[in-house]
Amino acid sequence: MNEKERPKSAALSIALMSVLTAVVVVFTIFPRIPTPIHGYINLSDVIITFSAYLFGPWVAAVAGGLGTGLADIIGGFPQWAPFSFLIHGLQGIMIALIARIGLKKGVPGDAKIYMQILGGVVGMVIMAGGYYVVGGFLYGFRAALVEIPLNLIQSGVGVILGIVVSKSVLKAYPAVRSLAL
């Protein structure tokens, strides 16, 4: 059995998700820019998008959801943790699934750039829309409107950098394709 035919081990998958979750926590906490309704913008979307393009929907969902939720708890924003878990988890799943449309094999990072961008835009809408709804219920919908442009900037930067980093990693280390779930 050659390397491409070898089944992925559960331990390897768990290790990959754990490492990426930790990186999401770090990118969520540093830097952290406060927003008007007791939230903050950060660089978590870079790693969520990177994970989605390189490793697929389940890795992105776990790393994005768990990583941002843990960062909220660690960073003093526990009221946001369950919502971050759901919003960023769904964001990661959808980015990867859309980027994979039309691929017979390979990772979402191999997808056509327009499919990656489409997946990223859907992820941006999920993230900004999700936080708008949650912020609206917690602090009022009028106040939550202020967050939309900030969240779109955060997720837009995440999409751009996620595409650049994932394509660079695939070019430098093609064997990373074997880790996609």
Question: What are the pLDDT digits (tens) for 82-113?
Answer: 999 999 999 999 999 999 987 877 677 777 89
pLDDT digit string (tens) for 20-77? 999 999 999 999 999 888 789 999 999 999 999 999 999 999 999 999 999 999 999 9
Distance CA 61, CA 129 (A): 17
- Residues 68 and 25: their CA atoms lie apart, in Å, by 6
Class of domain 10-31+42-172: mainly alpha
pLDDT, average across residues 115-127: 97
Which residues, in sequence order, are bridge partners of residue 34?
40
String of DSSP letters for 20-55: HHHHHHHHHHSS-EE-TTS-EE-SHHHHHHHHHHHH
Judge contact between 93 and 57, C-beta under 8 A.
yes
